[in-house]
Structure 1
């Protein structure tokens, strides 16, 4: 079968003055493609001007299968910025009374109809867009209304899981994020210890899965395991640098985040715990690893 909106490995079954007919690979050892008049296998056309080196009959080629404005299929050697089913940041290039068009790396821009826009789109701005194949129009379309396609529940997620997040909206509560390209979640402002903005990718940790299934995400682990992990990271860092570090509880939050990927508050708590355990000595300008450790 031909997967619309995906990269397909297809086989050349015919050549015409305007391009090549490509079909799915059913059996490499079969002669099923020799007589196209008696073969109802679907084909897609790759334009001749896309090919720099002529293709041979039966040759396999990797192509992206797209749809034109009429919904007809065509193949291209160009790889778009986004495939069907993915959610990524795209730039809007124009807006009309029926929808907005986004640059996705192909000659024909990606249409996001008005009904699929979370808010009016402005040309030149970047938005988080999900792509899908619309059975009604037979076209590949985009959407910024992500909840139409991504679930708010986290059935496959567990608290403490490390995840990849993409910020897609800012609210009074915090930042809405796409989790692992599959789910929607929220980073509360209190858990966002570094600046975040729409379209930004960031690592995160599942903080809480609520009774209704909705997912809260933190930028760092806040449970005992996370605290122990940070304390050990500090000790390892001291050991690697001769038992001394100038990164103290007075250091700038950005410096602490850059080094340990945690908030200043978490770092100060970890230093306090290590001090109480007599594993480090604190001074205004440095922390030192106690010789006993």
Structure 2
């Protein structure tokens, strides 16, 4: 059975003036698939040979075979570069002369030319290959990680009321819960995250923050650098609202107080009637 969008071994049925026809195994020569001359000009091909080919549809929607390696196949996730943005969607470079379409309805967020995005390939109702950024159904549960492991992930959807959805290792379910989102993210952004929980269904809850003792050093470093910019007019103190702290520093009020306590303990800042000041 022919698998569109995947590599497969196929037998050469016959050689014609325009190329080699691959056997579709339907007993109908009209179903055989052309491997064009420009694909085989540097190799010797004879009837009966088996070749590793990729099957897709050309600009006239005819099934065609190629020996070239594509950057993506049906059923797997890949990062593809946006080479054109049109009214019907974006076109992505997937290694063939004919770019693949990412239809407008399959996009997530606003795309940028030359950026790479994580997509899956699927066959539409007309049997044509298209790309989608709605990749939830392509992801898998994970049994490879445990709490506090560090992982690499790619943002594929942002829902402010829930959090930031990511693909861990570009293949596993992952979520940065709303409570762990202290900065703005973009679809396609690559992140280094820490596992805070492995759910029973194999989905991972993640945080951009390191373990407490490690994060406190980072937060304290970030805080003192910000204080140096403000000199003697640092606008935050113990009574500042959590919203103001998060907007200015990208950390929770609890993290702010821990970091400030660390700076006070180490004698790097002092507390005055007006608030905090760098020594």
- TM-score, normalised via structure 2 length: 0.61
Distance 2:194 2:17 in 1: 55
Matches within 5 A, 1:139-218: 139-147=128-136, 149-150=137-138, 154=141, 159-160=146-147, 165-169=153-157, 172=160, 175-179=164-168, 181-188=170-177, 198-199=187-188, 206-209=195-198, 215-218=204-207
Which residue of structure 2 aligns with residue 48 of structure 1? 37
Correspondence list, 1:97-108, <5 A = 97-108=87-98
Greater CA drift, 155-164 or 115-124: 155-164
Query: For 1:174-233, what per-residue CA distance to the aligned partner results, in whole angstroms no more than 9, with x for missing partners?
Result: 54211355443213588699x9865455676653255898541357997xxxx9xxxxxx
Tell me the distance in 1 between the aligned counterparts of 2:197 and 2:89. 37
Cα RMSD, aligned residues only: 4.4
Query: What is aligned with 1:234?
Result: none
TM-superposition CA deviations, 1:224-253 (whole Å, max 9, x none)? xxx9xxxxxxxxxxxxxxxxxxxx99xx89
5+ residue gaps, structure 1: 25-32, 228-247, 254-264, 266-293
In structure 2, list runs of 5 or more residues that go unmatched: 223-254, 256-279
CA distance in 2, matches of 1:72, 1:41: 12
Q: Which residue number in structure 2 is paired with residue 16 of structure 1?
A: 16
What is the SS of the residue equivalent to 1:57?
Answer: coil
* Matched pairs, number: 222
Structure 1 residue 61: Cα displacement? 1.2
Listed as ranges, the matches of 1:214-229 within 5 Å are: 215-218=204-207
Q: Counterpart in 2 of 1:77?
A: 67
Structure 1 length-normalised TM: 0.58
